[in-house]
Chains A and B, each alone.
Chain A
Amino acid sequence: MSALLELDHVSRFYGGGLFAGRRVLAVNDVSLRLEAGRPEIFTVVGESGSGKTTLARMILNMVPASAGTIRFLGTDLATIHSGAARRAFMRKVQPIFQNPFEAFNPMKRVDRYLFATARRMADVATDVAVAEAADSALKSVGLSLAEVRGRFPHQLSGGQLQRVAIARALISKPALLVADEPVSMIDASLRASIVNLLRELRDRNGLTIIYITHDLATAYYVSDRIIVMRHGSVVESGNARTVLDNPKHPYSQLLKSSVLSPEVPTGVSHA
């Protein structure tokens, strides 16, 4: 089997230059491998400062790795320089960000994002074809162009807007989605539907999704495999259910014990 994404002893540090002072190791010697043709939800959990967002940014080729190599479908990301090569890479690897209200310009109609992406990333030129590409992407997230056309971000709910963000990422028919805390800003009543959508995209569209979160409960619900990060290093990895049911590393155990259970604890006196 060939690898979709392969990280080989990847590290990233910030600072340490002549003026930058202390060197901060954000990601420390991380190796992982996602197989092509085996769609899965691969979850990265850890607290803030554990390096999970830096890892995502390296996979998206937004920051280069300081050491080690990242290969996507055999191509070393460090060798992607030309605009055409970058675009070809971006077609295959797409991001979804945490806060959809920040990801979209409030003064711009959201359909323009979809149309611009379709023109640039999906090789469609005519208005009709562009609208069709946008509509089919929206349909796969449970919306339609008719609902979204001409709307500004504030006219949509957080859940709808996050769906539009996911639809935008789907237009170029990517193989890998990198979702950095995609549900933490979404209202509770809509959160389950976004999480379910990630599962659907894996099963129906055959997408591999890197799901970055600090929320162990949703991680348990959607993930196939999981890595637990702390201070830039992977402290535990494996099948998500196995790891979360029975964490071995003390830090994973601490994380699990800190998850607030939605059961009302007995013994708390309720006045």
Chain B
Amino acid sequence: MSVLAVEGLRAWYRTSALGVSRDVRAVDGISFTVEADEIYGLAGESSSGKTTLIKTIAAATQPPLEVVAGTITFTFPGGAIEMQRADRRTLASIRWRHLSYIMQGSMSVLNPVRRIRHAFVDFAFRHIGEPKPRFFETVRAHLARLRLEPDVLDAYPHQLSGGMRQRVTIALATVCRPEFIIADEPTTALDVVVQKDVLAMIREIQRELGSSILFVTHDMAVHANLADRLGIMYGGRLVEEGRTADLFRSPRHPYTAHLIASLPRVGDTTPKAGLSGAPPNLADPPAGCRFHPRCPRASDICRREVPPLEPLAPGHRVACFHPEPA
């Protein structure tokens, strides 16, 4: 069963000043679903629209960002909620209880002048609905799951190391046992040694809670180790989607193929080529396939028509007129 279904979503930054209007098409026609109990990885470079997509999914849109078309539907035990139609009270009641977030900068999630315990009270107390002593017991038990001492509740954020802080934000996001978690580059700011532990912990807690995670990062190595399914974004569109193992074994879209081929590995000295050209300008995207100016396989049709995202194999969708051979 899909926990999240996104249909034909278009979210644009629309500005108009002094008679000049400008649309930045950051998310332009995206459809996908996230199933129960899976980690869906979303990859793409900066300005590919990943952050806009998750903002829209979380209904955290503010002008000039506007949802121009499409629907976002969450199915929680309480029933289906269409995020674009939901009123503020509905959103407030599902946020953190059913839909929570792990952010990149733990220092900007946690208030630097308040102890960690206040963060738990602010975020989770009303959703858990237990009296304070019982509530803190729950919190302590949950911290133990992430191998954090109960003492961290009395610490200020600056007293904790980067890895511990990030585990605190994971604890915050998971303490209400939400069905859906959005994780935006949660390990990008961490050291390699710490990153591995934190990823293992995210995996462990996801297994235990059976939640779905929409995991966003540009780091393909992280996706390889964590995601069940993977969606690749380029220029505001999904260009390829499939099971992680399939995508890494036989990428079909030329962009995905390049991303995977150019990953440096320890023990591998074969020359890696960079991709020529620059990411598309989303205010004035190229016609047809947005990847065509940089694509080695581009032909005439790519310059005229937008390739639809279509299944090439079961569970493997690709938006390309000339996919790489399997």
Contacts and interface: CB of A to CB of B under 8 A. Distances in A.
Given A192-B262, A261-B265, A271-B38, A255 B193 contact: yes
Contacts of A159: 274, 278
Interface in A232-271: 241, 244-245, 254-256, 258-265, 268, 270-271
Contacts of A160: 278
B217 to A, nearest CB: 10
Given A192-B272, A216-B266, A256-B266, A47 B192 contact: yes
Nearest to A185: B46
Given A270-B244, A271-B228, A220 B195 contact: no
A46 to B, nearest CB: 9
Contacts of B229: 270-271
A260 B272 contact: no
Nearest to B263: A262
Interface string A149-182: 0000000111110000000000000000000000
A192 B265 CA distance: 12
A261 B98 CA distance: 33
A164 to B, nearest CB: 13
Interface string B263-280: 111111101111110110
Interface string B220-240: 111011001100000000000
Interface string A38-71: 0000000001100000000000000000000000
Contact of A220 (B192, B199, B267, B274): B267
Nearest to B46: A187
29 contacts: A47-B193, A157-B278, A159-B278, A187-B45, A189-B45, A189-B275, A190-B45, A190-B274, A191-B262, A192-B262, A196-B273, A214-B191, A214-B192, A215-B264, A216-B266, A217-B221, A217-B265, A220-B267, A220-B268, A254-B193, A255-B193, A259-B192, A260-B219, A263-B248, A264-B225, A264-B244, A265-B224, A270-B228, A271-B228
Interface of A: 47-48, 156-160, 187-196, 214-218, 220-221, 241, 244-245, 254-256, 258-265, 268, 270-271
Interface of B: 35, 37-38, 45-46, 162, 191-196, 199, 218-222, 224-225, 228-229, 243-245, 248-249, 255, 258-260, 262-269, 271-276, 278-279, 294
The 6 closest A-B pairs by CB, nearest first: A193-B274, A187-B45, A217-B264, A157-B278, A260-B221, A47-B191
Given A215-B192, A259-B221, 19 more contacts: A48-B191, A188-B219, A189-B45, A192-B262, A193-B275, A214-B191, A214-B192, A217-B263, A221-B269, A244-B267, A254-B193, A260-B199, A260-B221, A262-B265, A263-B224, A264-B249, A265-B224, A270-B244, A271-B38
